[in-house]
Amino acid sequence: MKKMSIFFIWSKNTMSPDQRQKSKILSGYFLTQNKTIKILKSLVAIGIYINPICAAAQTPTNVSNSKYYAYYQGYTPKASSPPPFWRNVSSITISNSVLSVNNGLAVWDNAGTYGQGIISESMGYAMILAALYNDQATFNGLSATVQAGLNTATGLFPWYWYCTAGSSCSGQTAYYAVDTNSAGDGDINIALAYVYADQATNSSVYSWTNPTAATYKQMAQAYIAAIRKNDFSTTDTNTANNYILADGAAQAASTFQSNTWHPDYSDIRAYQLFQLYDTGNTAFWENAISYTQAAWQSVFYFGAADTRTMSGATGTINASLYNTKLSNPTYSSLQASLYYYQTSFSRNANQYNSDSDRLPVRIENYLRASDNVSAQSLPILQAIAGGNLDALGASFTSAGNYISSVVNITSPWYNSGGYIQNFISAGLLLYALDPNLSTYYSNSNSVANYLNKAFGTNGTNGTINDDLNNNGAYNASLSLWNLTVPDQGETPLQTYMRQLNTNSATSSGTTLTYTYDDNGESANTTSLQSPLMSAQITALSSKTLPLAVKTVSLYITLEALPSHRGASPVAISVTRPGGVPFMVYSSQRVAPDSQGLVNLGVLQVPNNAGLPLGASPKGTWRVSLQSTSGKPIKIKTAILTFNK
């Protein structure tokens, strides 16, 4: 069954930032205060948002102005005393093929999943940092190793490498792929690094010169396409699962029924950026963003509208009843959905650790991007990050301003203390420096001040270990990436990437134009000034959309004003383009919950209600609500779904 969903999501322009941040929504889609249109590959989604603001890119400053430039200067292999985790690479072996590498570089990890070795995740971190800190020679050395080591079957870099000579790898330059499978997190990091490198060629950033064999853009395009084809399942019987990043190519091929899901492998800001390079598949990446957001929402507390009970129990979890503010690394038997309350999974552990600490940098890159925060957008994602901040901050302060590498995912979020783990605390600092999250954790400023002092003036001269003398790259790499994202650590490229507009949209006055489908068609919508009781959307296409509609459903939630939260009869009507009545629903009594919300769920409508088979649902649709008792009640969320 193919579906096209038209989303009506609105609120008053007069809301304050705090009110917008606390606004509630029970839909699997996220309420925002800007306006865009999204067409998904199997779900054609048209979303209404209000007041888009696209920030123009500003002239970046010098890379040395980053607070943590000295940290990177000690991190790079060009340092006077390079960290011991750097390796020179002269040859690599994959599937019995020995390939030479010219001036290859790699980073070593002493504590990978299966022990020490070269791990793709840290390779990606090192490449990202080299791009961010304008170190093209180091980037090219790492890229040489990656390009030589691509698995020809998938186009992806194997996740685990070891020295060919045997147990002692000191001074060795020849490595082989112990496992030719990829890792989803490492692949996202590597692809993102190539995107960063391509943007670094911009004259307003670093003016990097492209390699001769292939440009950074070409390498980004190839790697992103390989991720889409291999790190996402194409055969899962649950279509939603096909848009959730798998742990690797082998896991994607065998689906989530027999493999785990890492929530923090997914990177929705990366998915936005990937659309600039995988231009024929923007619908896929929009779909991946939507399903990932809903999957995150199924796990995490998402704000005032989330009335679920917090639980860190292991085993099968009912996502409609339970949530948590902090997550363990993996879940089994994922069954994703566009709606968080229909998602199901089993939790495998109840502790947050190094295998679940990627979320801060991934979600904050998204929240800080001008695409997403210019109009106080996405309060649910902010609430998820705020919940993380609340849990980690409380754990930190209750342990006497210490945080170890393992934190319980339920209150009081116990950690053993005694030291401050750098990559955990760098993620906590990143959250604490986000002013939009302070409403979720009142102690965020004091935590930020304490950690800023503990990291020192440049990340290397404080009381927190910088791990530059460690024979493993993971700790320093993830720590430094977290530190580079907030304003105080931004490099010119980080600033540029934060301000980079990934939408095909341009806004002028009340009109927004957005290229929304694989055929390059455009839809135009006019700015929505929604009455309390109704909303509308206008979607005009250059040709009839190829959709034969058989059934239509309406998912709707309502909200009563605080002073009138008693039971009330309501009538809901839908008119299709041309003002033709399409659906009428009457309820004798709706009773708001303690927060004033009413979830009427999905109202099914047979096609005989008026839309001809084969017709396109383009045009202006209006969903209207009437409280027949006169009590003030308004539409909170309405989603029309056209089923083929």
Q: What string of DSSP letters covers 359-404? A: HHHHHHHHHHSHHHHTTT--HHHHHHHHHHHHHHHHHHHHTTS-B-
Cα–Cα distances (Å) from 190 to 406, 473, 623, in that order, read 27, 15, 45
Residue % of the chain over a pLDDT of 90 = 60
Question: Which amino acid, residue 273?
Answer: L
DSSP 324: B
Residue % of the chain over a pLDDT of 70 = 70
Q: How far apart are CA 66 and CA 54, in angstroms?
A: 25
Question: Which amino acid, residue 83?
Answer: P
Q: How far apart are CA 490 and CA 364, in angstroms?
A: 13
539-544-545 Cα angle (round to 5): 75
Give the list of residues 6+ apart from residue 265 with CB closer than 8 angstroms, or none. Answer: 184, 185, 188, 245, 247, 358
CA-based max dimension of the chain: 81
**Which of 251-260, 431-440, 518-527, 564-573 is the least confident region?**
518-527
Q: Are 294 and 336 in contact (CB under 8 A)?
A: yes
Nearest CA among 153, 119, 133, 127 for reference residue 67? 133
Strand, helix or coil for residue 511: strand
Residue 196: band (very low, low, confident or very high) from pLDDT cuts 50, 70, 90:
very high
Residue 165: band (very low, low, confident or very high) from pLDDT cuts 50, 70, 90:
confident
Token pair listed for 146: 């990656």
- Most confident segment among 1-5, 214-218, 514-518, 555-559: 214-218
Q: Are 517 and 39 in contact (CB under 8 A)?
A: yes
Mark residue 367 as left, alpha or beta (left: phi above 0; alpha: psi -120 to 50; beta: remaining): alpha
Phi then psi for residue 334, to 5 deg, are: -65, 130
**Which of 201-205, 269-273, 622-626 is the least confident region?**
622-626
Chain CA centroid to CA 324, Å: 18
Parallel, antiparallel or unpaired: strands 43-47 and 174-179: unpaired
Instruction: Give the mean model confidence (pLDDT) for residues 512-529.
Output: 26
SS3 content of the chain, % helix, strand, coil (to 5): 35, 25, 45
Residue with the bigger pLDDT between 616 and 237: it is: 237
59-82 exposure pattern, b = at least 16 Cβ within 10 A, e = fewer:
ebeebeebbbbbbbbbbbbeeeee
Q: Are 626 and 538 in contact (CB under 8 A)?
A: no
Cβ-based neighbour number of residue 31 at 10 Å: 23
Residue with the bigger pLDDT between 506 and 362: it is: 362
Q: How far apart are CA 329 and CA 347, in angstroms?
A: 9
Q: What's the pLDDT tens digit per position in 235-279?
A: 999 999 999 999 999 999 999 988 999 999 999 999 999 999 999
Question: Residue 46 pLDDT > 60, yes or no?
Answer: no
Phi then psi for residue 282, to 5 deg, are: -60, -35
Q: Are 87 and 165 in contact (CB under 8 A)?
A: no
Q: What's the pLDDT tens digit per position in 404-460?
A: 999 999 999 999 999 999 999 999 999 999 999 999 999 999 999 999 999 999 999
Beta bridge partners of 46: 6
Give counts: helices (H), strands (E), the chain: 16, 25
Q: How far apart are CA 332 and CA 167, in angstroms?
A: 34
Token pair listed for 179: 């496992």
Rg (CA), the chain: 25
Residue written as token pair 């072996």: 93
Cβ-based neighbour number of residue 450 at 10 Å: 18
Structural domain boundaries in the chain: 3-54+504-643, 55-229
Q: What is the CATH topology of the domain spanning 55-229?
A: Glycosyltransferase (1.50.10)
Q: How far apart are CA 274 and CA 23, in angstroms?
A: 30
- Helical ranges in 34-85 per DSSP H: 69-75
Mark residue 596 as left, alpha or beta (left: phi above 0; alpha: psi -120 to 50; beta: remaining): left
**The predicted structure's pLDDT at residue 639:** 65
- Helical ranges in 3-46 per DSSP H: 17-22
Q: What's the pLDDT tens digit per position in 402-413?
A: 999 999 999 999
Nearest CA among 444, 514, 525 for reference residue 486? 444
Give the list of residues 6+ apart from residue 229 with CB closer than 8 angstroms, or none. Answer: 154, 155
Q: How far apart are CA 357 and CA 264, in angstroms?
A: 7
Q: How far apart are CA 517 and CA 510, in angstroms?
A: 22
Question: Residue 49 pLDDT > 90, yes or no?
Answer: no
Instruction: Give the mean model confidence (pLDDT) for residues 488-499.
Output: 96
Cα–Cα distances (Å) from 636 to 10, 245, 403, 627, in that order, read 7, 30, 40, 14
Residue 622: band (very low, low, confident or very high) from pLDDT cuts 50, 70, 90:
low
